[in-house]
């Protein structure tokens, strides 16, 4: 059951955001997003809240669970899983970035560059995971599903990375972590309620903590000049 051994050049090409892909992403968003928010990635004028993004990622994760089961039962081969996963990884990071700034039309070139860099990193990790699966490791236990779904949850990290850039452009200069009721890792507990300058290396964003992409903490962006606060 071999993996597809993408070259670095092929991973870079898969990571690039094209004009055609923007239209594909809008169609996928309408497929996965809650009914009341199916047009949001195209028409929003403000950042799309997590209450919309989270169920969208969950819907993608449910498809991933079916993909994993199809490989474990012999219905599908590993290379099919790898290609399907790559499509979903590319989507969740582009959608997460677009959601953070009020829809795909609001993405700047800087935002797109961040999305592309993140996708390149994640697709590299996906290749390494596929190569490990090709040896027979993890195929038959819960790790296969858990790790596969973590690639989807990582879209939340891109959401906050792009949101930070967007709010910084608007003059927001501080960020505060707000712990989700479901988060109990020691870093989520430590950062809860603390304020940091945007870009401070002492601060770890949701998705970069011990709980990795399963983190459900929120962030609040603060303008020292106006005292305005915006939570995502």
Helix (H) or strand (E) holding 230: strand 229-231
Which has the minimum average pLDDT: 1-5, 10-14, 129-133, 220-224? 1-5
**What local confidence, expressed as pLDDT, does residue 9 receive?**
98
The rounded distance, in Å, linking the Cα atoms of 1 and 151 is 21
38-63 mean pLDDT: 94
| Single pTM value for the model | 0.94
Residues 6+ apart with CB under 8 A from 129: 147
Phi and psi at residue 195, to the nearest 5°: -105, 145
**What local confidence, expressed as pLDDT, does residue 213 receive?**
85
Whether the CB-CB separation of 97 and 114 falls below 8 Å is answered with: yes
- The average confidence (pLDDT) of the chain is 94
Q: pLDDT of 171-229, one tens digit each? A: 999 999 999 877 778 999 999 999 999 999 999 998 889 988 888 999 999 999 999 99
Whether the CB-CB separation of 202 and 153 falls below 8 Å is answered with: no
Query: pLDDT category, 72, cuts 50, 70, 90?
Result: very high
The rounded distance, in Å, linking the Cα atoms of 92 and 143 is 21
Torsion-angle region of 57 (φ positive above 0: left; ψ -120 to 50: alpha; else: beta): alpha
């Amino acid at each position: 059951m071999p993996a597809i051994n993408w070259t670095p050049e092929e991973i870079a090409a898969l990571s690039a955001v094209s004009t055609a892909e923007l239209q594909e992403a809008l169609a996928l968003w309408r497929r996965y997003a809650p009914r009341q928010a199916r047009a949001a990635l195209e028409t929003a004028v403000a950042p799309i809240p997590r209450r919309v993004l989270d169920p969208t990622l969950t819907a993608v994760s449910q498809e991933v669970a079916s993909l994993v089961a199809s490989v474990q039962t012999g219905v599908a081969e590993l290379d099919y899983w790898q290609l399907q996963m790559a499509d979903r990884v590319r989507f969740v990071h582009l959608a997460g970035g677009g959601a953070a700034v009020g829809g795909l039309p609001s993405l700047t070139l800087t935002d797109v560059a961040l999305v592309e860099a993140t996708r390149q990193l994640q697709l590299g990790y996906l290749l390494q995971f596929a190569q490990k699966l090709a040896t027979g490791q993890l195929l038959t236990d819960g790790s296969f599903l858990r790790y596969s779904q973590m690639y989807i949850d990582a879209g939340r990290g891109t959401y906050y990375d792009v949101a930070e850039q967007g709010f910084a452009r608007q003059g927001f200069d501080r960020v505060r972590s707000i712990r989700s009721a479901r988060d109990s890792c020691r870093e989520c507990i430590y950062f809860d309620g603390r304020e940091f300058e945007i870009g401070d290396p002492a601060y770890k964003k949701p998705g970069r903590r011990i709980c990795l992409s399963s983190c459900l903490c929120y962030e609040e962006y603060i303008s020292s000049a106006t005292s305005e606060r915006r939570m995502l």
